[in-house]
Structure 1
């Protein structure tokens, strides 16, 4: 029952899918629930893929891609894109660690946030419109999973950067090696079901790119936060799409 509770909790937290179930939870459920992050990504991808499949009968692929990216933002509530913007506002302010963390908590949107979010969306759009048509739907299916695998890795290998409480503390404090191993096992199992050597290779990249992103951000902040985990998710997803566009010819 704990496993099912944590899965539902992750779906409620990371998506806007209406799941009207009241769940009693504690801090550890969030961190330990990250083991299901790749599966949550697959659920998001499945919804987007079904929408794309139907829309391709009506619109050209460029228009379908634009609609799918908007739907992605609606399904996720822009949660990770918000983290991406906050992270870039802080990291590229060139301030002290303490000031960076303060800026990341500021609700105002700065220039670096706008550049980061718009840049990632443009790269996602370009990669999806130019990818081999044979891989188009499969890439949409797998891209949210690749991104959320990055959040899992980031939480498992980091310590919490702030003093006191924060949105990401429960995820980072209670996501450890066990959650990382089982989460990556789920990620690997889903990847193998694609039965495609090219996709296998592309899906190998996100866990490793997540380590690089987390290490870079942690040097600036002394650890990770919820915003940083969101940033890693979006950057990982973007890396997956760019790699798929370049490799799957």
Structure 2
């Protein structure tokens, strides 16, 4: 099997429940190469989520539809990053020593802070989905949080030290360097442009009144520039603070950053649609 095919299969097997049946040995080298395809996985998950939102809108009111779509979203990811979010909340909100926080993240049990953080995050995501229900023309822009949150995971792997000095899951990605990071950024930008461009073309084709076309174009183009910049800024702020407290990042922190930045991206999209309407 060609190296890129193996890397793509590893990315889908690790980050999602998509049925990729290939048998792989998850070596650090393969895991590092697989990060090139993280934005592709994000695009596929985001597309499935918004197709589910569109289809469920024909059968259900917005509120139960949003909860159902969120359930599909969590299932598609296998809860991998959500687990990291909970473990990170338990550790970082304990205000213990660095060593104790790292021990808490290694513990498979979930504490009160992890449960609270999980519930609040899922409530936020559900309400954001609810706010975007029925706005099919936004689908191109709505996949951007799924793309750029996963780009930032790769950015964090390459730009921050490992808190456990090569141990744990984060140690599998120690080979992420600037050259690979630039490629991941280019892939993310290309996929973002294609997604937004396709839905701009669809809006232009379907919409009759010029005002509706210009409104859709304004939201999508604003999202194309605002969401990546804000996700990077929020992610860097969070990663800087966490790295300072832990002396680096862990695999759980990568997942927590992804979860939080997805919510940030959707929140920005809701704000943009509210302002422009």
Q: Are the aligned partners of 1:16 and 1:76 in contact in 2 as well (CA < 8 Å)?
A: yes
Secondary structure at 2:143 match in 1? helix
1:231 corresponds to? 256
2:200 corresponds to? none
Structure of greater relative contact order (alpha carbons < 8 Å, 6+ residues apart) = 1
Task: Show CA shifts across 1:37-91 (max 9, x none).
Answer: 1111001112222222221111122222111111111111100010011011111
- For residue 199 of structure 1, the aligned residue among 223, 229, 251 is 223
State the shift of 1:26 in Å: 1.9
State the shift of 1:241 in Å: 0.8
State the shift of 1:228 in Å: 0.3
Q: Which has the larger radius of gyration?
A: 2
User: Aligned equivalents of 2:107 and 2:87: distance in 1?
Assistant: 8
User: Aligned equivalents of 1:41 and 1:142: distance in 2?
Assistant: 9
State the shift of 1:137 in Å: 3.5
TM-score norm. by structure 1 comes to: 0.93
Aligned-pair Cα RMSD in Å: 1.7
- For residue 240 of structure 2, the aligned residue among 211, 215, 219 is 215
Structure 1 unpaired stretches of 5+: none
Q: Are the aligned partners of 1:85 and 1:117 in contact in 2 as well (CA < 8 Å)?
A: yes
CA spacing shift, 1:179–1:207, aligned 2, 3 Å: farther
Pairing 1:64–2:89 present: no
State the shift of 1:169 in Å: 1.1
Pairing 1:142–2:133 present: no
User: Aligned equivalents of 1:158 and 1:244: distance in 2?
Assistant: 28
1:77 corresponds to? 78
- Decide which moves more: 18-27 or 95-104: 18-27
User: Aligned equivalents of 1:164 and 1:237: distance in 2?
Assistant: 27
Aligned residues: 248
Instruction: Give runs of aligned pairs for residues 1-249 of structure 1, distance below 5 A.
Output: 1-131=2-132, 133-134=134-135, 135=137, 137-138=139-140, 140-163=142-165, 165-171=167-173, 173-193=174-194, 194-195=196-197, 196-200=220-224, 201-249=226-274
Q: Are the aligned partners of 1:52 and 1:137 in contact in 2 as well (CA < 8 Å)?
A: no
CA spacing shift, 1:221–1:211, aligned 2, 3 Å: same
User: Aligned equivalents of 1:184 and 1:163: distance in 2?
Assistant: 26
Q: Which runs of 4+ in 1 moved over 6 A?
A: none
Q: Are the aligned partners of 2:54 and 2:134 in contact in 1 as well (CA < 8 Å)?
A: no
Structure 2 unpaired stretches of 5+: 198-219
Q: Are the aligned partners of 1:89 and 1:113 in contact in 2 as well (CA < 8 Å)?
A: yes
State the shift of 1:180 in Å: 1.3
